[in-house]
Amino acid sequence: MTPRGTDWTLAFLVALLFTTGMLSLVSGAEGDAWVFVLHGAGGAALGFVTGWKLRRVWRRVVELRRWDQHTSAGLLAALLVVATLASGVVWSSGGDLYVAGFNLLNWHILLGVLLTLGVAAHGRLRGKRPRRQDLASRRHVLRLAAVGAMSGALWWLQRPLAGYAGWRGAGRRWTGSYEVGSFAGNAFPATSWVADQPRPLDAAAYRLSLGGLVITPLVLVASAVDAGDTLVATLDCTGGFFSTQAWRGMRLGRLIDQAGADARADHVRVISHTGYRWSFPLVEARDFLLATHVGGEPLAHAHGAPVRLVAPGRRGFQWIKWVVRIELHHGPDRGAAVSTVWSSWTPQGRGEA
């Protein structure tokens, strides 16, 4: 590879890893497994190409007299690549380390974002346009093919190797999450996407409303939501754990049928007491559950009592807690992602109302 070709290959791999990393946060169905495969193999490829680049510039690094104004920045970038890759490898192998209260997966995400910003800034300030010989030469293509083959093989081998070594990583889910508290009622971990901490809702005063594009708007008390529908589903948190539970409540499709969906409705918006919300295609959401119980126990406040959404195939932050309103709409909710952040600063999200 030419020096410029190596740099552009590294930039492409960082962009690929950032994209697949962000996609992984909303990928929970088994058909989404390719996102995680591509992310893992891409990480291996980044390691190989970074090693190739370091091999080429090593003398410039170890001989201080050859340093210039760009050497320190280059070393910092290399350390950031190594830290990002190391945090991902150790987490996927089963490392259960916490630094400043955050696990390695959280640090892997943060480091990956910082790496992407650094590469983008470098490309903006010092990037040089690739030439044909940098990317399309026979030697470059062959080396890329070799890197791709080795990366794929390494991804395929890492789980068997972890099993052979007796590491916890052999038992992780395909999303990279580790099992905690399955079929143990409320004993599984309680988490928040940002910092929602609402006060406990009074079950006697609680009301669940259904509106929007419906024929007959509805308002239900908490006891009415416990319709006896059951569902075994896996909550897979982007924080790195998953837990499979037996849930009980009312199937969302049953509630929608009671109200009658307007012909224009194609999306369901589920809204929390804190203002946190998400929308789903109507055809998918019909199979979701509005849960009042888990493992035969009433939901604990930390898990969303009196009512939380159970959304199989979705990541944990989309399983809305403390559900108070459901709306049918035409089209998705473009502001849903923003609501998952600002909800923590509402009076309800802070527990003041």
Tell me: the pLDDT tens digits for 57-115? Answer: 777 766 666 677 667 777 888 899 999 999 999 999 999 999 998 999 999 999 999 99
Tokens at residue 133, please? 């010989």
- How far, CA to CA in Å, does 65 sit from each of 53, 60, 61? 20, 8, 9
Domain span(s) for CATH 1.20.950 in the chain: 3-176
CA dihedral 103, 44, 60, 63 (to 10 degrees): 50
Separation CA 288–CA 281 (nearest Å): 11
Tokens at residue 4, please? 């410029």
Phi, psi (deg, nearest 5) at residue 263 = -60, -25
pLDDT at residue number 143: 85
Tokens at residue 286, please? 């019909």
Tokens at residue 315, please? 């990541």
Per-residue burial over 45-68, b = 16 or more CB atoms within 10 Å of its CB, e = otherwise: bbbbbbeebeeebeeeeeeeeeee
| 134 pLDDT tier (thresholds 50, 70, 90) | low
Instruction: Quote the CATH superfamily of domain 185-345.
Output: Oxidoreductase, molybdopterin-binding domain (3.90.420.10)
Instruction: Please say if the pLDDT value at position 4 is more than 90.
Output: no
- Of 321, 328, 174, nearest in space to 247 by CA: 321
Instruction: Please say if the pLDDT value at position 151 is more than 70.
Output: yes
- CATH code reported for the domain at 3-176: 1.20.950
Q: Of all residues in the chain, what percent carry a pLDDT higher than 90?
A: 81
What Rg value do the Cα atoms of the chain yield, rounded? Answer: 24
Domain span(s) for CATH 3.90.420.10 in the chain: 185-345
Q: What is the DSSP string of 284-328?
A: HHTT-EEEEEETTEEPPGGGTTT-EEE-TTSBGGGS-SSEEEEEE
Q: How far is CA 325 from the centre of its chain?
A: 25
